[in-house]
Chain A
Amino acid sequence: GAGVSQSPSNKVTEKGKDVELRCDPISGHTALYWYRQSLGQGLEFLIYFQGNSAPDKSGLPSDRFSAERTGGSVSTLTIQRTQQEDSAVYLCASSLVQLLRNEQYFGPGTRLTVT
C-alpha cells in the first residue's frame, strides 16, 4: 500500500513569507507526527496528533509554527514569517495505535530553504 507522502518535496521561500507543508499519512493510522532535521543533525520533534485528542505541541520552537490535522487524516504544518533558521527538512510520520513497538512510518520529507 501507499506510504506516507509529503508535499512539496522542496520549497524555497524568502525570509518573512509564510509556508504550508502537507502530509498524507498511511490510511488508518491514527497517530501523526511532525519532526524537523537540520543539516547533519538528528530529528527534532515538533508536534503530535493522536486521534481526536488535543495535539501535543510541546516541540514547536515558536508561535510562528502551527499545525492542524483535518478529519483525522491529512495534516498541514504552517510556518509564518519564515526565518533562515527555519531551513531544514521537515518530516512527517504516522503510526497505528499499538501498546508496543511504536513503529513510526516516515515520509520522504520536505526540504525547506529560506533565503
Chain B
Amino acid sequence: LAKTTQPISMDSYEGQEVNITCSHNNIATNDYITWYQQFPSQGPRFIIQGYKTKVTNEVASLFIPADRKSSTLSLPRVSLSDTAVYYCLVVNSGNTPLVFGKGTRLSVIA
C-alpha cells in the first residue's frame, strides 16, 4: 500500500478553517484516500473517503487533485472538540487491514 506523509502537528484557533495535507506519491489506481479521527482514549473513527476531485460530508471536505498524489482534509470552523489526531490512509477496496502512520495532531485553541 502507498505510504502517506502528513505534518506531525498543527495548531488552530477556534472558528478557523483547518487544512491538513497528505502526500501519497505511490498511490495505485484502485486505491482510495481515507481519513480517520482519533480522540484521546478512544479508537479511530472514519470521517471521510474519496477517490478524486472533491467529497464533502457533514464533518469535513476532502480535496484530491487530478494526479491523486496528495489530498487535503478541510475542517470548517473548528471548535475545541476537534482537537484530535487525524490519520490519512490509502486503502484498497475490500476488507484489508488499515496501515496507519503517526497522523497529524491538531490542537484547537480558544
Chain A residues with Cβ below 8 Å from B102 are: 40-42
Question: In this assembly, does B28 line the interface, its C-beta being within 8 Å of a C-beta of chain A?
Answer: no
Which of B32, B43, B103 is packed against the most chain A CB atoms within 10 Å?
A: B43
Interface readout for B78-95 with A: 1 if CB under 8 Å, 0 if not?
Answer: 000000000100011111
B43 contacts A42, C-beta separation under 8 Å: no
How many inter-chain contacts with C-beta < 8 Å in the A-B complex?
A: 70
Interface members, chain A 47-62 (any B CB < 8 Å): 48, 50, 56, 59
Interface residues of A, dominant DSSP: loop
Task: Give Cα distance in the complex from A45 to B96, angstroms.
Answer: 10
Say which residue of B43, B45, B97 sits within 8 Å of A56 (CB atoms): B97
Which of A4, A93, A101 is packed against the most chain B CB atoms within 10 Å?
A: A101
Task: Give Cα distance in the complex from A4 to B91, angstroms.
Answer: 21
Count, chain A residues at interface, CB 8 A: 31
Count, chain B residues at interface, CB 8 A: 23
A102 contacts B92, C-beta separation under 8 Å: yes
Say which residue of A4, A59, A95, A107 sits within 8 Å of B95 (CB atoms): A95
Task: Give Cα distance in the complex from A30 to B32, angstroms.
Answer: 21
Tell me the nearest residue of chain B to A96, going by C-beta.
Answer: B95
Say which residue of A40, A99, A108 sits within 8 Å of B43 (CB atoms): A108
Say which residue of B41, B87, B95, B100 sits within 8 Å of A108 (CB atoms): B41
Question: In this assembly, does B57 line the interface, its C-beta being within 8 Å of a C-beta of chain A?
Answer: no
Chain B residues with Cβ below 8 Å from A59 are: 97
Give 22 pairs: A residue, B residue, CB < 8 Å, sorted on A: A4-B43, A30-B95, A31-B95, A42-B100, A42-B101, A43-B98, A43-B100, A45-B97, A45-B98, A48-B96, A93-B43, A93-B98, A97-B94, A98-B94, A102-B32, A102-B91, A102-B95, A106-B44, A108-B41, A108-B42, A108-B43, A109-B42
